Structure 1
């Protein structure tokens, strides 16, 4: 039997959740004239209650000239970044995309969807983008089981055996024991929607504990099983209007795809022995 996904509804979060980062990206055509100072000030006011701290985020873009004799061009772009006071949730607004991310995900319905609604409605009202190009929702899980090694045998009973099949005993050359490996699956879900999943035993961290969006609780570095689910919608022949209600409906669709995969990837034993166990704060 597989477990219910507590991301999906009103069930309280796991006591010891494996989810370390959630990212929502909404892309749209470049806003004419870029983000004006007035637009940035209006966005700051719109998200003040949830994300009161603003600071610029500097990004570097590398452009490769058509003439190969010319050196690559490095451009620096500054975008406003709004974050919570604990720095665990943040919003970056660019002239062609907004990115909302958190390391303290507390459920889709209760926590993340309302934030997505708030920032999307604010952008629609303040900047009125010309349309919608893409929506991506990414969940990164670091599943850590005490005494589980990096190889497939340590994950028996915790991870769906079909996700361990590529490194099963009957596929291993004599004298070789896989420790770190990674699989990739792409599913076509609903119209214009897809789900990419990377998975497999890893070592260390999938998400840098020292990253700009702070992780509130960081386990000691060691073996973990990665589930990196990237569900997305992408427009085909038409560019729909940028309307918050429609965008949230598409967000619900891509969220459901990621939720459905999580349900089959992990087992009741993993929930009982790891996810629902009280753990000491490693900090």
Structure 2
């Protein structure tokens, strides 16, 4: 790993051992930009689908996508009124294997997947192809923001109280769960941390225990990391891939900082020779 692709703000590099028990539920990468045109035409979406296929990525099924904006009108003596306005139309290209999709809009492209192995295999190849296709077909003039979000859900059928996560989540994050009076009564808690990682870079960390009906009513733990780079720049596909990799390294560092060292080891492979380019956030 070079300094160019290390974590933002001098965060500690993440352990690169692959997680054998990855808790990842969802990964989303979005690039917002300025470009000409109010909609993505069907012909452009077809070209994008075919171009992606030629680069080895199959997103055969297409659906129309819309970007909306909610406007709230407030007048003295009257109840607030909300109105949803359609801003732009685009297309959603769905992966053939059903694990994710790509959304093409006039001002953004997004890549989403529910199956994640590691950056170099799961997201980076598709991102490289998507940035190339976006540059060719949508001709963006200015990049406004790159965002990368990982949603992780730690589960344990035996965890019946938030305190069950005491030895697994870093104690400085558990807050009221460890309180001598409140702790035994807490059933769920959600916190949001806003982190400053540079002049135009940052992250939102949402985390906490919750009652998980999908695991027979056990207490699971959510870690939702949203890292972003809002530095404006010209749209260059290669540069964007590198900046996205920096965000991935940053998310991996933040992920590992949320758990204890002992718990991280239980999520990793035991073999010392099973090393990869990055950890799964």
**Structure 2-normalised TM-score?**
0.78
SS in 2 for 1:31: coil
Q: Which sections of structure 2, spanning at least 5 residues, go unmatched?
A: 1-12, 271-281
Residue aligning to 2:168: 158
1:177 and 2:185 correspond: yes
| Structure 2 counterpart of 1:227 | 223
Q: In structure 1, what is the equivalent of residue 98 of structure 2?
A: 87
Residue aligning to 2:32 = 27
Map 1:51-200 onto structure 2 (within 5 A): 51-58=59-66, 60-64=68-72, 72-76=82-86, 78-151=89-162, 153-170=163-180, 172-173=181-182, 177-200=185-208
Sort the Cα spacing of 1:59 and 1:165 in 2 relative to 1 into closer, same or farther, 3 A.
Answer: same
Contact 2:187 2:211 in 1 (8 A): no
1:244 correspondence with 2:256: no
Tell me the residue number matched to 1:208. none
Q: CA deviation at 1:252?
A: 1.7
Indicate the larger mover: 54-63 or 153-162.
Answer: 54-63
Which of the residues 49, 54, 61 maps onto 1:44?
49
What is the aligned length?
A: 252
**Contact 1:18–1:275 (CA under 8 A) maintained in structure 2:** no
Structure number with the higher strand fraction is 2
Residues 185-241 of structure 1, C-alpha deviation per residue, up to 9 Å, x if partnerless?
A: 122123421011011101237xxxxxxxxxxxx866642111000000112xxx311
Query: Could you say what the CA RMSD is over the residues aligned between the two structures, in angstroms?
Result: 2.8
CA separation of 1:269 and 1:176: change in aligned 2, threshold 3 A: closer
Does the 8 Å CA contact 1:150/1:202 hold for their aligned counterparts?
A: no
Deviation at 1:248, TM superposition (A): 1.4
The alpha-carbon distance between structure 1 residues 102 and 5, as it changes in their structure 2 partners (threshold 3 A), is farther
Between the aligned partners of 1:19 and 1:117, the Cα distance in structure 2 is 22
Per the normalisation by structure 1, the TM-score is 0.78
TM superposition outliers: structure 1 runs of 4+ over 6 Å = 66-70
SS class of match (2:98):
coil
1:267 deviates by: 2.9
In structure 2, C-alpha distance between the alignment counterparts of 1:221 and 1:120, rounded to whole Å: 42
CA distance in 2, matches of 1:46, 1:222: 45
Point out where structure 1 has 5 or more consecutive residues left out of the alignment: 206-217, 278-283
Larger helix share, 1 or 2? 2
Q: CA deviation at 1:30?
A: 4.3
Change in Cα spacing, 1:107 to 1:274, as seen in structure 2 (3 Å) is closer
Structure 1 residues 157, 129: CA separation in 2 closer, same or farther (over 3 Å shift)?
Answer: same
> 1:110, 1:59 → 2: CA distance?
30
